[in-house]
Structure 1
């Protein structure tokens, strides 16, 4: 799909970097955000094939600038993957994991950056589910629960704007965050998410999905 384009927000390592590689392997034009363009982390070896954008999702001014820069990009898919885990104050967890994804996607939709019938995906976690959850994860799970709640409030308006929008649990993945004993590889998760998003149907809009295509309870 050489004419298709994707924006992956939060892509310097882990699942974000895996998604960049997956979409590149399928022939997509890839836009990817990193906090420092001079230090793109795990994207170093593919940086010349990707359009890199500097972005710290906490910086509202920069979010709005990026939305304007991409106003004519006609993005077919947007994936908001940026997030933080343990070891951060509660307020920062909420700002990065709960508030920033909604704010960033809204800015991109408002600027016209998303193609007609485009797809928007926010990376959440099963730890943010209010039922069907395996254990608890303190502030992190709470921040993802807030994200899910905010997404459900926005889903109808985003759908009216032409987007098919979902939240995704990427699995327990072998990353710095997930640890070496996690059962799902980055490659498996990225491939599953690719298949889900590129085959998304209108009736799947507004719902909570897992990386392997199963619907997850809220």
Structure 2
């Protein structure tokens, strides 16, 4: 991996629950939820409490909206390329889940939104996303655009004080499953493994196609 993606320092990014601003509970099936059999948890306030419109710059330099990004079931992750270990590991797991889905004939993709647009230019996020999977979209933008997307998905990030070049960013680490037109349907925690993610995503796609 390019050295720009390896942080100098020993502090790792914050774990998901540190920055999470929504409450999750164990979910029981409900008769009016087409995805009930696929869900492992629920969001306080319902799935509609997560997600919303955003405008960012894609890794090909084109300004896009959420509608342009979520053209198929998408595993969405907020992170940054200079992250020393958490982001590479999480994005590799997401990519592994995509490969398993590919093998099973499911059409899905991943998207990576940088929370460090100061360093993560279009070229940097393009290089980063290409390392993991050909169907991973890299996204960046102005700090205002990134904050708006982060707020919509109830994520947390905070730049640490320190070296102006080699600073770290604390951030939440959920991966989100987002569908075209429907929006957010599920989230995955750090401890969820690729095969488990692939199974659950496949369940959602099967329920969506019915």
Shorter-chain TM band:
0.3 to 0.5
TM-score (normalised: structure 2): 0.33
TM-score (normalised: structure 1): 0.32
Higher relative contact order (CA 8 A, sep 6+): 2
